[in-house]
Amino acid sequence: MSTPHNLGFARMGANRELKKAEEAFWSRKLSQDDLLQTARKLREQHWSWQAAAGLPILPCGDFSLYDQVLDTALLFDVIPSRFRGLHAEDELTLYFAMARGTAGNDGVPALEMTKWFDTNYHYLVPEFSASQQFRLARNLPLDNFREAAQIGFAARPVLLGPITFLLLGKMKEADSEPLDLLDRLLPAYETLLQSLAAAGVSWVQIDEPVLATDLPGATRQALVRAFNRLARVAPLRILLATYFGALGDNLPTALQLPVAALHLDLVRGPEQLEAAIASAPDALTLSLGLIDGRNIWKTDLGQALDLAERAAGKLGPEKIMIAPSCSLLHVPIDLTLETKLAPEVKDWLAFGRQKLDEVVLLSRAINEGRTRVREALDANEAALSRRKQSPLIHNPSVQDRLAAIKPEDFTRPLDFVARKKLQQARLALPPLPTTTIGSFPQTPELRRERARRRKGEITAEQYEQFVEGEIAQTIREQERLGLDVLVHGEPERNDMVEYFGELLSGFAFTENGWVQSYGARCVKPPIIFGDVMRSGPMTVKWWQFAQSLTKRPVKGMLTGPVTILEWSFVRDDQPRRDTCFQLALALRDEILDLEKAGCRVVQLDEPALREGMPLAKAEQSAYLDWAVNAFRLATSGVAGATQIHTHMCYAEFNDILHAIAAMDADVISMESARSQMELMDSFARYHYKNDVGPGIYDIHSPRIPSTEEMRGLLEKALVIIPAEQLWVNPDCGLKTRSWAEVTSALHNLVQAAQSLRVP
């Protein structure tokens, strides 16, 4: 009998209950007990759904109040010394301090945050020191297992594996590697597994997603060493979970590890199944990740069954498990909550709960034969063919324009040096020019007005008037603070992708399709189901209004094609590149309209460029080629005197500097405050020629950095980057902060820049 199972579930709740409870707790409107009670209820709800779908064993410990990597750090007592003082206070204070930093003059900066593999989920980066000690401290997996058992659910604790945990972390000391700590870490994992075994746990899931990346031989050996030790904790059975790609060269190693089951992502890497079947040891169970945990389309069940039957035929049905490709953390919870989607589009989709139904159905088809589930299979096939033939998807004029793109469409008419001269003459900016990334606080009033507009309680004119008031205030404040290149503040946007999606054809939107981005922050990715086209200007009116209020340049503010693509659920019936180029063409038209209206500076944000990169090295350069080309296609239509900015945040950029350079933006602003300017070293070493603005204000923390602190960061940057190249800006947009925080921080930021300007 094959077993259906799941690697992890979303945490926020179908109505984002966790987010609401946490935000209330942080603003002291909810007690700790009530927060924990909400979390408990959510876990119970999510287990109930999974059990009701027909899963005999449920993941536990996949739930987190903020992030599973932070949970793992605390599980093993990995607490950087700056947080030790908070130990005396309660556990949650420490937990949220590590996640978010603390406010006030003696505030402590949070852990660094970065993207979880190629997803838009952000994890907190563990900080290790060479003298790091590990011990089993905060045993959440055990607590959650007991909690599930108490309710009556058989559960399987989900742990982040030791190798991935170490490799995701950072060493304080430059001359040491996290993997050096493995031998000290393993005993703590052993103690953990022993505690689980003693509590009656039979299966434990250990996630090692690094197996989907290229690993040096030494890391593979470390994996073997680690699992050899962990496997000795009898009578526990280990399910080793890999996801987000094929294992490639790591497959033989993974297959030989002494684990009871190995999970493979067969959505991203279907081809690895044959090799796995061929060389799986007799005792090994294969868990087949056949349902896409990263996208929202109905599975082609017939095709998935072909793979499952092939595995079942070779290994025996009792040696296979059926699962989503990865945790369902990355898809919305429940399609049935959507009441406004066009029925034709809804018919093509499956969210988390529907995916579990697919998992169970596939498993039944294996165990009982296709004929027993014939009706469901036929319905699935019919839906897929309705999608293929739908006129909603195909727009010949878009396809024609795509086919007619010429090589010169990707290159600006002048090189950077020539452009910079023209731009300097036109903009006359001081040295170390100051700017912000785009958004200003999205205040409760602003959200309220938007909600009222959506409900039809105010007219479009009333709403526009309100937005104009916000823009006017934003311009006034920036002038008062002394910023050089202004922004309109993006008050008309609820979200930097959704806003554009709503104005483009080929997009659909959900009411409840939330996905966790980091901590309590969720995003509601649009669904790109068809050819993308712009029907008219999307931002020009707002920009014009903002520019009419000031002499200083106001940036036109757009979201880049790769980011719109990455932060949407993208159609899987054509190459992602084609969809991305369609987006680029629409944005190119928008940039030209801005330029025509008199806009001198346009920013095209690409914060998601790095996260879209495939994990396997062999696929990376092809991706970077088209991703960079999409940016160039969007930005190359303008004159040399028009300054193009881009912005990126939250990722490791060191390995894609060549691609960043190839984008050829005149100015790039980047997140770097939390990592203390480390990034600038790489830019200097790379001899990056265009202008850069390393962020000097970590906007994800309520903490307000002083003038001295930001001046210190700028001085650090100036040691490695020539002053003529340096811009001064925050890490990212300011939408999540309050006006009080923003004005204090930006005041200090402007002072820091001005104090360094040579007269």
Site residues, ligand GLN (CB under 6 A): 437-439, 490, 496, 557, 605, 607, 647, 649, 732-733, 735
Token output for 427: 């903009």
8, 59 Cβ separation under 8 angstroms: yes
Of the pair 384, 483, the CB lying nearest ligand GLN is at 483
Q: What is the dihedral of CA 465, 466, 469, 473, to 10 degrees?
A: -160
Task: In angstroms, give the least distance from the CB of 719 to Zn ion.
Answer: 25
Of the pair 383, 558, the CB lying nearest ligand GLN is at 558
Binding interface with Zn ion (CB under 5 A): 607, 649, 732
Task: In angstroms, give the least distance from the CB of 243 to ligand GLN.
Answer: 25
Please name the residues in contact with 481: beta carbons below 8 A apart, sequence gap of 6 or more. 743, 746, 747, 750
Of the pair 350, 496, the CB lying nearest ligand GLN is at 496
Task: In angstroms, give the least distance from the CB of 600 to ligand GLN.
Answer: 18
Of the pair 506, 607, the CB lying nearest ligand GLN is at 607
Task: In angstroms, give the least distance from the CB of 699 to ligand GLN.
Answer: 9
**Residue nearest to ligand GLN as judged by C-beta position:** 733
Residue 100 sits at φ, ψ, to 5 deg, of -120, -5
Query: Strand 504-508 and strand 261-265: pairing?
Result: unpaired
Alpha carbon separation from 250 to 210, 224, 425, 526, 613 (Å, rounded):
10, 11, 55, 34, 19
Residue 438's binding partner out of Zn ion, ligand GLN, none, with CB under 5 to 8 Å set by partner kind: ligand GLN
Task: In angstroms, give the least distance from the CB of 656 to Zn ion.
Answer: 16
Task: In angstroms, give the least distance from the CB of 649 to Zn ion.
Answer: 3
Q: Coil, strand, or helix at residue 289?
A: strand
Of the pair 261, 634, the CB lying nearest ligand GLN is at 634
Helix axes 217-230, 182-198, angle to 10 degrees: 30
Of the pair 206, 649, the CB lying nearest Zn ion is at 649
Of the pair 289, 693, the CB lying nearest Zn ion is at 693
User: Can you say how many angstroms the Cα of residue 353 is from the centroid of all Cα atoms in its chain?
Assistant: 21
d(CA 45, CA 40): 9
Of the pair 607, 614, the CB lying nearest Zn ion is at 607
61, 159 Cβ separation under 8 angstroms: yes
Residue 735's binding partner out of Zn ion, ligand GLN, none, with CB under 5 to 8 Å set by partner kind: ligand GLN
d(CA 273, CA 558): 42
Nearest to 254 by CA among 289, 209, 291: 209
Nearest to 487 by CA among 469, 474, 468: 474
d(CA 308, CA 468): 57
User: Can you say how many angstroms the Cα of residue 670 is from the centroid of all Cα atoms in its chain?
Assistant: 16
Of the pair 158, 649, the CB lying nearest Zn ion is at 649
d(CA 746, CA 482): 9
d(CA 205, CA 29): 36
Q: How crowded is residue 279: how many other Cβ atoms within 10 Å of its Cβ? A: 12
Residue 156's binding partner out of ligand GLN, Zn ion, none, with CB under 5 to 8 Å set by partner kind: none
Task: In angstroms, give the least distance from the CB of 635 to ligand GLN.
Answer: 15
Residue 136's binding partner out of ligand GLN, Zn ion, none, with CB under 5 to 8 Å set by partner kind: none
Catalytic residue check, 700:
yes
Residue 439's binding partner out of ligand GLN, Zn ion, none, with CB under 5 to 8 Å set by partner kind: ligand GLN
d(CA 155, CA 570): 33
Beta strands in 412-513, from DSSP E residues, in sequence order: 504-508
Q: Which of 488, 647, 700, 747 is catalytic?
A: 700
Task: In angstroms, give the least distance from the CB of 556 to ligand GLN.
Answer: 11
Task: In angstroms, give the least distance from the CB of 670 to Zn ion.
Answer: 8
Task: In angstroms, give the least distance from the CB of 291 to ligand GLN.
Answer: 29
Reduce the secondary structure of 517-530 to three states and give it as a string.
EECCEEECCCEEEE
Task: In angstroms, give the least distance from the CB of 671 to ligand GLN.
Answer: 8
Q: Give ∠ CA 676-66-610 in degrees, rounded to 5.
A: 50
Reduce the secondary structure of 186-249 to three states and give it as a string.
HHHHHHHHHHHHHCCCCEEEEECHHHHCCCCHHHHHHHHHHHHHHCCCCCCEEEEECCCCCCHH
Residue 77 sits at φ, ψ, to 5 deg, of 65, 35
Of the pair 140, 673, the CB lying nearest ligand GLN is at 673
Residue 255's binding partner out of ligand GLN, Zn ion, none, with CB under 5 to 8 Å set by partner kind: none
647, 603 Cβ separation under 8 angstroms: yes
330, 298 Cβ separation under 8 angstroms: no
Task: In angstroms, give the least distance from the CB of 707 to ligand GLN.
Answer: 23
Of the pair 2, 559, the CB lying nearest Zn ion is at 559
Identify the residue whose tokens are 């790109």: 528
Region of residue 592 (phi > 0: left; psi between -120 and 50: alpha; otherwise: beta): alpha
Nearest to 163 by CA among 86, 100, 240, 238: 240
d(CA 167, CA 256): 21
d(CA 39, CA 92): 13
Of the pair 127, 606, the CB lying nearest ligand GLN is at 606
Task: In angstroms, give the least distance from the CB of 314 to Zn ion.
Answer: 48
Residue 557's binding partner out of Zn ion, ligand GLN, none, with CB under 5 to 8 Å set by partner kind: ligand GLN
Of the pair 3, 435, the CB lying nearest Zn ion is at 435
Reduce the secondary structure of 301-370 to three states and give it as a string.
HHHHHHHHHHHHHHHCHHHEEEEECCCHHHCCCCHHHCCCCCHHHHCCECCHHHHHHHHHHHHHHHHHCH
What do you get for the CA distance between the two ends of the chain, in Å? Answer: 78
The answer to whether the bond into 80 is cis (omega within 30° of 0) is no
Instruction: Return the active site residues.
Output: 700
